[in-house]
Each structure stands twice: as C-alpha cells, then as structure tokens.
Amino acid sequence: MRLFADNLACRRSSRIVFENLAFEVQAGEALAVTGANGAGKSTLLRVVAGLLPILAGQVALDPAQDDIPLAERCHYVGHRDALKPALTPLESLGFWQAMQGSAAASPLEALDIVGLTHAAGLPSGYLSAGQRRRLAFARLLVSRRPVWLLDEPQSALDAASRDRLARLMADHLDSGGIILAATHDPLGVPARSLDLGRVG
C-alpha cells in the first residue's frame, strides 16, 4: 500500500497555498511535513482528509478500494480535539468507534494504552489540555484506518506523553500503517521529510 499525490494544488479564497506538489509514502513509512508557519502544512493534511477541495492534481491510496473514499481510510487529529466536555472519555471513544466503523481496540483498552484509565468516567471538560490530546490519540486506536493524519501531534504533550505517542506511531508503522504529520519537532519515529518551504 502507498499514499501518493501528483501535481497537487490547493487554493484558499484567492491564494494558492501550494501547487505542483508531489509525494509518495509507502506502507510502514512516516512523512513529516515541515515548513514555516502558513506554508500550508495543515491545509495539506485537510486536503488529504477530504475536508478541503482539491484545485488540481490528485491524492490517492494505492491500491484503491472502489467503494471506500480516501477520507474514510484516514484518521485525522487536528488542532481541535473533537471532544464534548459533557461526555466522559469512555463515552467519547465509544461514540467515535461507532461512527468511524471498523472497530479495533475497545475504548477501555485504548484508554489504557494512552494512560487515561483513571479518568475514564470523568467528564472530558475536567481534563487538562495534554490529557485531552491523549484522548484524541486514543481515538486513533478504537477503529482501524491505515492512514494517520496528525497536525502538530506533540503540542501540549509532556515528555512522557511524547514517548508514548512515539510508541503508538511506531506500532502503527510496524503494522503497515502510513503517517503524515505536520510538525516543527522531530516526530520520535524515523520519518522522511517534505518541506513546504516558506510562505509564498
């Protein structure tokens, strides 16, 4: 399996964010998308996730599955954690597992892996920023999708949590997954780098 992009271009309002972009990521490989603030890292991830329209070119997973669009084979973790303060971590994970389909780990197992078992029954509103972030990563584990799109995954995480995240990513890569991460810091797993350069 490989994720590839050809001649990709994206426009936000009147500005071309990037064009003629090409990359290829093989199964088991991570690609770190780097570049200055505003270079289009987040935009690229959102384009791959199908959340922004493509102006030109294509991005696809090979081999393609006819009936399943790329977006449904991607996990996306953006800057916002997609958590409802009134729901407990267990309920949030159960809900997203039901919505995303292809169940993998149970919500309780996923919480154990990210080290949040003690907060399983607490409304998410009481969690700290780092804990909410870890809960967002637990979402990646409850359903199986081959491509992980991570937008600055290490923000708000302490050193121990960064190590834990690196282990999660390493496991995902070992099982033949693909990671595309927008980042300013080293990911903690071997990764090729795609530099989007400066704002322009």
Element (H, E) at 165: helix 159-174
Contact 108, 120 (CB under 8 A): yes
- Is residue 103 within the footprint of another protein (CB under 8 A)? no
Among 6, 91, 109, 112, binds another protein (CB under 8 A): 91
Q: What are phi and psi of 108, to 5 degrees?
A: -65, -40
Smallest distance, another protein to C-beta of residue 62, A = 20
Token representation of residue 50:
């199908």
Distance CA 69, CA 93 (A): 23
Long-range pairs, 92-99, Cβ under 8 A, ≥24: 92/124, 92/135, 92/139, 93/135, 93/138, 93/139, 93/142, 94/142, 96/139, 96/142, 96/143, 97/142, 97/143
Which residue, 68 or 160, has its beta carbon nearer to another protein?
Answer: 68
- Is residue 98 within the footprint of another protein (CB under 8 A)? yes
Binding mask 23-62 for another protein (x = CB under 8 A): -----------------------x--xxxxx---------
- Is residue 121 within the footprint of another protein (CB under 8 A)? no
Smallest distance, another protein to C-beta of residue 162, A = 21
Which residue, 61 or 189, has its beta carbon nearer to another protein?
Answer: 61
> Which positions touch another protein (CB under 8 A)?
12, 46, 49-53, 68, 71-72, 74, 76, 78-84, 86-87, 91, 95-96, 98-101
